[in-house]
Amino acid sequence: MSTDTVNAAGIRPLPTARRKSWPAGWMEPLRQGLIYPALGIGGLLAVWWYGGWIIANNDDLYAFADFAPGPTFAALYQMVASGAVWDPIASSLSRVGFGLLWAILIGVPLGIGIGYWAVARQITHVPFQFLRMISPLAWMPIAVLAFATWDAAIIFLIAVAAVWPITYATAHGVQKIDPLWFKVARNLGADSPQMLRRIVLPAVSQDIFAGIRLAVGVAWIVLVPAEYLGVTSGLGYAINDARDTLEYDKLAAIVLVIGMIGYLLDAVCVKLIKRTSWRQAD
């Protein structure tokens, strides 16, 4: 028996169109992915524009009016179009890459050692905390004397800055490993290299990459003043050169480039944390 209804004239009414229902909370990813970042960038640009307007209308500061967004973006477009920005980026990324490589090669084994052995942790605590609190740039005179090239000195300064976040993040990860895992591995006949490969490294992978993420931020900050040394390439050198030639629009454009590359490097580290960790990242 049909359940369709008819009206008084015996005519069955046309079916009404069903309204498409959206899942609850569907707007939240859009807000977090597009709307909120757009609002943040818009607010930053508004503050920047207002600061540039104040400088341009002040007779004492008018010489620095090229720091405003308009001249900065024009200089950035010119640098990208002419290719003048790519060599400094390549030089800086190369130095940061080698510095981080040395920091990882030193920091990960060191962190595993002081995280696994309590005696090693107690012996190294005071000297490591002492060294960690010294500004990496304070080692600049020693680096210049100890290394034959300026590039090697800069790489040393970056490695000194980046090694501590990696070391302590790795040690913290090792200390969180359940001791029962090691007991089970020994009962199954695992030797030290197998426990390192099968238990320690997978368990602390998220902590290692979190430390690398922090190290990238520190290294990228140290890079610019480190490149004020005798090198003739890199983003730090480009900023120093623009300052000396009073090209403030170019200087601000290089600052934008530094910020954008730093943001991209941090985003890559976040992706690596999510893809390589066995634990669910937040």
* Residue pLDDT, tens place only, 103-126: 999 999 999 999 888 898 899 999
DSSP secondary structure, the chain, as one string: -------TTS-PPPPPPPPPPPPTTTHHHHIIIIIHHHHHHHHHHHHHHHHHHHHHT-TTTGGGGGGSHHHHHHHHHHHHHHTTTHHHHHHHHHHHHHHHHHHHHHHHHHHHHHHH-HHHHHHHHHHHHHHHTS-GGGGHHHHHHH-SSHHHHHHHHHHHHHHHHHHHHHHHHHHTS-HHHHHHHHHTT--HHHHIIIIIHHHHHHHHHHHHHHHHHHHHHHHHHHTTSS-S-SHHHHHHHHHHTT-HHHHHHHHHHHHHHHHHHHHHHHHHHHHH-SSPP-
Examine residue 134 and state whether it is found in any structural domain, yes or no.
yes
Q: pLDDT band for 279, please (50, 70, 90 cuts).
A: low
For residue 102, is pLDDT > 50? yes
Examine residue 249 and state whether it is found in any structural domain, yes or no.
yes
Domain of 187 in residue numbering reads as 83-276
Mean pLDDT over 72-95 rounds to 91
Mean pLDDT over 88-99 rounds to 94
pLDDT at position 19 is: 53
Report the mean per-residue pLDDT for the chain: 83
Asked if residue 200 and residue 128 are part of one domain, the reply reads yes
Asked if residue 204 and residue 146 are part of one domain, the reply reads yes
For residue 273, is pLDDT > 90? no
Number of domains in the chain: 2
pTM of the model: 0.78
Mean pLDDT over 248-263 rounds to 91
